[in-house]
């Protein structure tokens, strides 16, 4: 909801290669391209810094693969952010990294410029699954990267973990979770692979042995239980953490707090308005944004809050949206509660893990 704080998302669109499942805006680049993009990005950071006096309490540098452009450029970008915005001393500052490039990255340098959280694109600890995903790293690379991150004084590490990978089984998923536990990850983003139109997985779907919907659902439910057994609390459909290590930046998306996205394909929600940059480098260079209209209406509020494990506080809902909407939700949710897809406790309506799997269709009915 409206506050004087701001989350800043910075998109670095470069990768060494395109993964077969990836639908993000990304490209290959060279040193000259990295320099040029950094220049454009800094210009737009300065532009927006002059147009808001909000206090930046989270920064998230995502991609692509931010670590590909090197620690000097990341540090330069962060320096520009601090010169252009008011950044709180205790801001959460996250950078995504790929284990293949992370093992050569100077985490100590970026830590000195404020990076205090790293999200590492592990995806799996099984070598065959990594190969199927087109990943360039090994589990040894993940271990090396984590060691470098810890030695840099960064004690908040998130690991990506994918479900629904070709040939994935419950045993291989357990192996990957065990690896995350052994590495002491504070946070795990464990999400189901979605086949996006136009990706290699989409075009060559029949060449892969993907788990079917029922098998994928079993993998998800197993992961939720097994992660809980190992001390990782689910706080959002795809996110799990040790106590106190929720991603403060990502929570802004689900709680309708202000965030500004900079980079091609980056989206923003600022002062009640939604807008975005096209998937186009030239449009970003010209700082041309596309308007998406107003945001934060009743439907959005309900849908986003129900993505969180703690769900929707019906008393708060009644206060913000009115008694009629709150009563309607409570009534319509009864059939899902009876089928163990939702729960209502202490005036909070929330999905069960089983309900999360079909949450889109339930939300369409509730809203």
Here the CATH number for the domain that contains residue 165 is 3.80.30.20
Does residue 135 lie within any of the structural domains?
Answer: yes
| Average pLDDT in the chain | 92
Residue 222 lies in a domain: yes
pLDDT, greater one: 360 or 324: 360
101 located within any domain: yes
- Residue 183: what pLDDT? 97
- Whole-angstrom CA distances from 61 to 150, 261, 313 are 19, 10, 31
d(Cα 145, Cα 97) in Å, to the nearest integer?
9
Q: How far is CA 175 from CA 129, 164, 178, in A?
A: 12, 15, 5
> Residues of the chain with pLDDT > 90: what percent?
73
Give me the domain span that covers residue 227. Answer: 5-254
Q: Are residues 235 and 147 in the same domain?
A: yes
The 3-state DSSP class for residue 298 equals helix
- The Cα–Cα gap between 59 and 352 comes to 31
For residue 174, give both structure tokens: 């357990």
Pairing of strands 273-277, 267-270: antiparallel
- Identify the band that residue 249 occupies on the pLDDT scale cut at 50, 70 and 90: very high
Higher pLDDT, 297 or 94: 94
**Is 360 in the same domain as 249?**
no
SS3 of 106, please? coil
- State the pLDDT confidence band at 290, using cuts at 50, 70 and 90: very high
pLDDT, position 316: 86
Answer yes or no: do 228 and 321 share one domain. Answer: no
Is residue 287's pLDDT more than 90?
yes
In a domain, 210, yes or no: yes
Look at residue 197 in the predicted model and tell me its pLDDT. 82
93 with 179, same domain: the answer is: yes
Q: What angle do CA 100, 102, 108 make, to 5 degrees?
A: 165
Residue 330 has what pLDDT?
A: 83
Q: Is residue 112 domain-shared with residue 214, that is, in the same domain?
A: yes
Whole-number Å distance between alpha carbons of 56 and 51:
13
Examine residue 184 and state whether it is found in any structural domain, yes or no. yes
Res 23 pLDDT > 60: yes
Query: Last residue of a domain, which of 254, 274, 298?
Result: 254
Residue 224 and residue 216 in contact, taking contact as beta carbons nearer than 8 Å: no
Per-residue pLDDT at 17 exceeds 80: no
Residues 59, 81: contact at Cβ < 8 Å? yes
pLDDT tens-digit readout, 208-237: 878 888 999 999 999 999 999 999 999 999
- 188 pLDDT more than 60: yes
CA pair distance 75, 86, nearest whole angstrom: 17
Quick one: 209 and 331 in the same domain? no
Which residue would you say has higher pLDDT here, 247 or 30? Answer: 247
- According to DSSP, residue 14 is labeled B
- Both 57 and 201 in one domain: the answer is yes
In a domain, 340, yes or no: yes
What average pLDDT does range 334-352 have in this prediction? 94
Indicate whether 78 belongs to any domain.
yes
Query: Which one, of 142, 138, 111, lies nearest residue 127 by Cα?
Result: 138
Specify whether 238 is located in the same domain as 333: no
Task: Say how many domains are in the chain.
Answer: 2
Provide, rounded to the nearest whole percent, the portion of the chain with pLDDT above 70: 97
Residues 236 and 125 in one domain: yes
Judgement on whether residues 215 and 354 belong to the same structural domain of the protein: no
In this structure, what DSSP letter does residue 341 have?
S
For residue range 127-178, what is the model confidence (pLDDT) as tens digits? 998 888 888 788 999 999 999 999 999 999 999 999 999 889 999 999 999 9
Instruction: Using the 3D structure, point to which of 210, 232, 254 is the last residue of a domain.
Output: 254
CA 242 to chain centre: 17
Do residue 51 and residue 174 come from a single domain? yes
Radius of gyration of the chain from Cα atoms? 21
Q: What is the pLDDT of residue 245?
A: 98
Residue 49 lies in a domain: yes
Q: How many CB atoms lie within 10 A of CB 172?
A: 17
- Residue 28 above 80 pLDDT? no
Encode pLDDT of 264-278 as tens digits: 999 999 999 999 999
Instruction: State whether 112 and 20 are in the same domain.
Output: yes
Where does the chain have alpha helices with state H? 31-49, 71-84, 99-102, 107-112, 127-132, 139-151, 170-182, 200-203, 213-229, 248-254, 281-285, 298-305, 314-321, 323-332, 334-338, 353-356, 359-366
Last residue of a domain, one of 206, 231, 254: 254
């Amino acid at each position: 909801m409206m506050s004087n704080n701001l989350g800043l998302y910075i998109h670095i669109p470069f990768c060494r290669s395109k993964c077969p499942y990836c639908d993000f805006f990304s490209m290959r680049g060279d040193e000259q391209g990295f320099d040029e993009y950094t220049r454009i990005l800094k210009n737009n950071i300065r532009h927006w810094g002059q147009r808001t006096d909000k206090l930046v309490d989270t920064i998230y540098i995502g991609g692509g693969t931010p670590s590909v452009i090197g620690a000097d450029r990341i540090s330069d970008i962060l320096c520009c952010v601090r010169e252009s915005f008011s950044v709180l001393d205790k801001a959460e500052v996250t950078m995504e990294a790929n284990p293949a490039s992370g093992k050569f990255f100077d985490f100590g340098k970026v830590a000195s410029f404020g990076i205090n959280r790293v999200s590492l694109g592990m995806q799996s600890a099984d070598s065959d699954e990594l190969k199927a995903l087109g990943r360039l790293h090994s589990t040894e690379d993940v271990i090396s990267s984590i060691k470098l991150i810890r030695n840099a004084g960064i004690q908040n590490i998130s690991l990506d973990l994918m479900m629904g990978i070709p040939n994935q089984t419950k045993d291989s998923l357990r192996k990957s979770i065990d690896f995350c536990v052994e590495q002491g990850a504070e946070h795990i983003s464990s999400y189901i692979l979605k086949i996006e139109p136009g990706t290699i997985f989409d075009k060559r779907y029949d060449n892969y042995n993907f788990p079917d919907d029922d098998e994928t659902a079993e993998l998800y439910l197993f992961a939720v239980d097994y992660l809980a057994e190992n001390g990782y609390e689910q706080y959002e459909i795809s996110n799990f953490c040790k106590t106190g290590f929720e991603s403060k930046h990502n929570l802004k998306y689900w709680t309708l707090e202000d965030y500004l996205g900079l980079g091609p394909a980056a989206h923003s929600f600022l002062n009640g308005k939604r807008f975005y940059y096209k998937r186009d480098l030239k449009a970003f260079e010209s700082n041309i944004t596309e308007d998406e209209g107003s945001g934060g209406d009743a439907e959005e509020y309900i849908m986003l809050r129900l993505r969180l494990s703690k769900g929707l506080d019906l008393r708060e809902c009644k206060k913000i949206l009115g008694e009629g909407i709150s009563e309607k939700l409570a009534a319509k949710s009864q059939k899902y509660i009876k089928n163990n897809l939702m729960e209502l406790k202490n005036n909070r309506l929330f999905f069960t893990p089983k309900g999360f799997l079909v949450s889109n269709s339930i939300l369409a009915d509730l809203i």
